[in-house]
A and B are shown apart, each in its own frame.
Chain A
Amino acid sequence: MSQAVEETESREIAEFRAEVRAWLAENRPPKPDFVMPQNFLFVETNEQFEYLRDWQAKVYEAGYLGLDWPAEYGGGGDTLKRQRIVTQETGRAGTPFFVNTIGLQWAGPVILKYGTEEQKKKFLKPILSAEEIWCQGFSEPGAGSDLASVQTRAEPAASGNGWTVNGHKVWTTIGTRAKWMILLARTDPDAGKYPGLSFFLMPMQVPGVEVLPLIKMTGEGGFNQVIFTDAAMPRGAMLGAPGQGWEVAMATLTFERGAAEGTGGGQATSSADTVQRAAKLASQTQRDGRPASEDPLLRDRLVQLWMQEEGLRLGGMRRRVPGLSPDRPMVLALMNKLVYSEYAQNLAELGCEILGPDAALWMGDPNAPADAEWPRAYMNSFGMTIGGGTSEIQRNILGERVLGLPKSK
Chain B
Amino acid sequence: MADVPGDFGFSDDHEILRDGARRFLEERCPIEEIRRLADDPVGHDPGVWKEMAELGWAGLTIPEAHGGAGLGNLHQALLLEEMGRRLLPSPYLGGALAALAIERAGDAAQQARWLPGIASGDTLASLGWLEPEGSWEPSDVKATARREGDTWVLSGTKAHVPCGADAALVVAPFVADGEIALFAIAGGFQAEAEVSIDPTRRTARLQFDGLAVPDDTRLSGGDLATWRTILLQSAAWLAAEMVGAAEATLGLTRDYAIDRKQFERQIGSFQAVKHPLVDDMIGIELARNHVYGAAAAFDAGETEAAETGARMAKAMASDVLARAVRHGVQFHGGYGFTLDCDMHFYFKRALFCRAMLGDAVHHRRHLAATLFGDTGA
**A residues bordering B, Cβ < 8 Å?**
275, 279, 282-283, 293-296, 299-300, 302-304, 306-308, 310-315, 317-318, 320-321, 323-324, 326-328, 331-332, 335, 338-339, 392, 395-396, 398-400, 402-409
Q: Are A396 and B269 also in contact (CB < 8 A) when A311-B289, A402-B281 are?
A: no
Is B218 located at the chain interface by the 8 A CB criterion? no
Whether B278 contacts A307 by the Cβ 8 Å rule is no
A116 to B346, CA, bound (A): 54
Shortest Cβ distance from residue A227 to the other chain B in the assembled complex, whole angstroms: 34
Measured CA separation A304–B364 after assembly (Å): 7
Complex Cα distance, B370 from A214, in Å, reads 44
Question: A314 touching B377 by the CB < 8 A rule?
Answer: no
CB proximity of A254 to chain B, nearest CB, Å? 18
CB atoms of A403 and B377 under 8 A apart: no
Q: A315-B289, A405-B258, A405-B269 are in contact. Are A293 and B8 (CB under 8 A)?
A: no
User: In the complex, which of the residues B270, B282, B361, B372 contacts A335, with contact meaning CB atoms closer than 8 Å?
Assistant: B282
Contacting residues, chain A, for B14 (C-beta < 8 A):
323
Cross-chain contact of A324 among B271, B282, B292 (Cβ < 8 A): B292
Q: Contacts A321-B8, A339-B286, A409-B269: A307 and B367 contacting too (C-beta < 8 A)?
A: yes
Does chain A have a CB within 8 A of B371?
A: yes
Query: What are 21 A-B contacts with C-beta separation under 8 Å?
Result: A279-B372, A293-B374, A299-B365, A300-B365, A300-B368, A306-B371, A307-B316, A307-B364, A310-B312, A311-B312, A315-B285, A315-B289, A317-B7, A332-B285, A335-B285, A399-B274, A402-B281, A403-B254, A403-B281, A404-B254, A408-B270
Q: A315-B286, A324-B10 are in contact. Are A395 and B275 (CB under 8 A)?
A: yes
B1 at the interface (CB under 8 A from A): yes
By a CB distance below 8 angstroms, the chain A residues around B266 are 405-406
Whether B274 and A396, one on each chain, are in contact in the complex, defined by CB atoms closer than 8 angstroms, is yes
- Complex CA gap A81/B135 in Å reads 47
Least distance between A404 CB and chain B CB atoms (Å): 7
Question: Given that A321-B8, A405-B254 are contacting pairs, would A311 and B371 also be in contact in the complex, using a CB cutoff of 8 Å?
Answer: no
Q: Which of A306, A326, A339, A409 contacts B265 (CB 8 A)?
A: A409
Cα–Cα, bound, A315→B288 (Å): 9
B91 at the interface (CB under 8 A from A): no
B6 at the interface (CB under 8 A from A): yes
In the complex, the answer to whether A310 meets B1 with C-beta atoms within 8 Å is yes
Convert B201-216 into 0s and 1s, putting 1 for each residue whose CB lies closer than 8 angstroms to a CB of A: 0000000000000000
* A278 to B, closest residue via Cβ: B371
| CB-based closest 7 A-B pairs | A311-B286, A314-B289, A299-B368, A405-B268, A399-B274, A406-B269, A314-B293
Q: Are B10 and A399 in contact (CB under 8 A)?
A: no
- Is there an interface contact between B281 and A398, defined as CB atoms closer than 8 Å? yes
CB-defined interface of B251-295 with A at 8 Å, one 1/0 digit per residue? Answer: 000100110000001101111011101110110011111101100
Closest residue to B5 on the A side, CB-wise? A317
Known: A311-B316, A406-B258, A409-B265. A318 touches B281 (CB 8 A): no
Most buried by A among B247, B279, B316, B364: B364
Pick from B7, B258, B279, B372: contact of A320, CB under 8 Å: B7
**Out of B8, B270, B279, B372, which one reaches A299, CB within 8 Å?**
B372
Q: How many residues of B contact A (CB 8 A)?
A: 49
Tell me, yes or no, whether B304 is within 8 Å of chain A by CB.
Answer: no
From A302, which residue of chain B is reached at the shortest CB distance? B371
Binding site for A on B (CB under 8 A): 1, 4, 6-8, 10, 14-15, 18, 247, 250, 254, 257-258, 265-266, 268-271, 273-275, 277-279, 281-282, 285-290, 292-293, 309, 312, 315-316, 361, 364-365, 367-368, 371-372, 374, 377
Taking CB atoms, residues of chain B closer than 8 Å to A318 are 8, 288-289, 292
Among A302, A314, A407, the residue within 8 A (CB) of B368 is: A302
Task: Please name the residue on chain B nearest to A306 by beta carbon.
Answer: B371
Chain B residue, CB-CB nearest to A327: B247
Residues of B within 8 A of A328 (CB): 281, 285
Q: In whole Å, how far is B77's beta carbon from the nearest beta carbon of chain A? A: 10
Min C-beta distance of A105 to chain B, whole Å:
23
Once the chains bind, are A293 and B372 in contact (CB under 8 Å)? Answer: yes
Task: Please determine whether A324 and B8 come into contact, CB atoms closer than 8 angstroms.
Answer: yes
Known contacts A275-B371, A311-B286; is-contact A408 B278 (Cβ 8 Å) = no
CB neighbours (8 Å) of A405 from chain B are 254, 257-258, 266, 268-269, 273-274, 277
Which one of A299, A302, A307, A339 lies within 8 Å of B312 (CB-CB)?
Answer: A307
Q: Please give me the residue from chain B that is nearest to A88 by CB atom.
A: B2
Question: How far, in whole Å, are A275 and B308 apart by their CA atoms in the complex?
Answer: 15
Closest residue to A399 on the B side, CB-wise?
Answer: B274
A395 touches which one: B4, B278, B285, B287 (CB < 8 A)? Answer: B278
CA distance A404 to B8 in the complex (A): 29
Tell me whether A314 and B292 are in contact in the complex, defined as CB-CB below 8 angstroms, given that A299-B372, A339-B286 are known contacts. yes
Residues of B within 8 A of A317 (CB): 4, 6-8
Asked whether A408 lies within 8 Å of B274 as measured between CB atoms, the reply is yes
A318 CA to B292 CA, complexed, in Å: 9
* Whole-angstrom CA separation of A318 from B289 in the bound complex: 7
Cα separation A183 to B289 with both chains bound (whole Å): 38
The residue that B377 contacts in the complex, of A296, A320, A404, with Cβ under 8 A, is A296
CB atoms of A407 and B289 under 8 A apart: no
Asked whether B290 lies within 8 Å of A307 as measured between CB atoms, the reply is yes
Nearest A residue (CB) for B372? A293
Pair B8/A406 contact, Cβ less than 8 Å:
no
Q: Contacts A307-B367, A318-B8 hold; do A404 and B258 have CB atoms under 8 A apart?
A: yes
How far is the CB of A322 from the nearest CB of chain B, in Å?
9
Cα–Cα, bound, A335→B279 (Å): 10
Residues of A within 8 A of B315 (CB): 307
Nearest Cβ on chain B to A15's Cβ, whole angstroms:
16
Measured between alpha carbons, how far is A293 from B18 in the docked complex, in Å? 43
Question: In this complex, what residue of A is CB-closest to B308?
Answer: A310
Query: CB within 8 A of A321: which of B7, B258, B309?
Result: B7
A68 shortest CB reach to chain B, Å: 18
Q: Is the CB of A320 within 8 A of B15?
A: no
Q: Report the separation of the CA atoms of residues A312 and B247 in the bound assembly, to the nearest whole angstrom.
A: 19
Residues of B within 8 A of A296 (CB): 365, 368, 377
B269 A398 Cβ-Cβ under 8 A: no
A118 to B19, CA, bound (A): 48
CB <8 Å contact, B371 and A303: yes
Q: Which residues of chain B are near A335, meaning CB under 8 Å?
A: 281-282, 285
Q: Are A314 and B282 in contact (CB under 8 A)?
A: no
Residues A339 and B271 in contact in the complex (CB < 8 Å), given A300-B364, A303-B367? no
* Interchain CA distance A399-B364 in the complex, whole Å: 29
Q: Are B282 and A339 in contact (CB under 8 A)?
A: yes
Chain A residues with Cβ below 8 Å from B278 are: 395, 398-399, 403
Report Cα–Cα, A112/B269, bound state, in Å. 36
Kindly state the separation between the CA atoms of A327 and B1 in the bound complex, as whole angstroms. 28
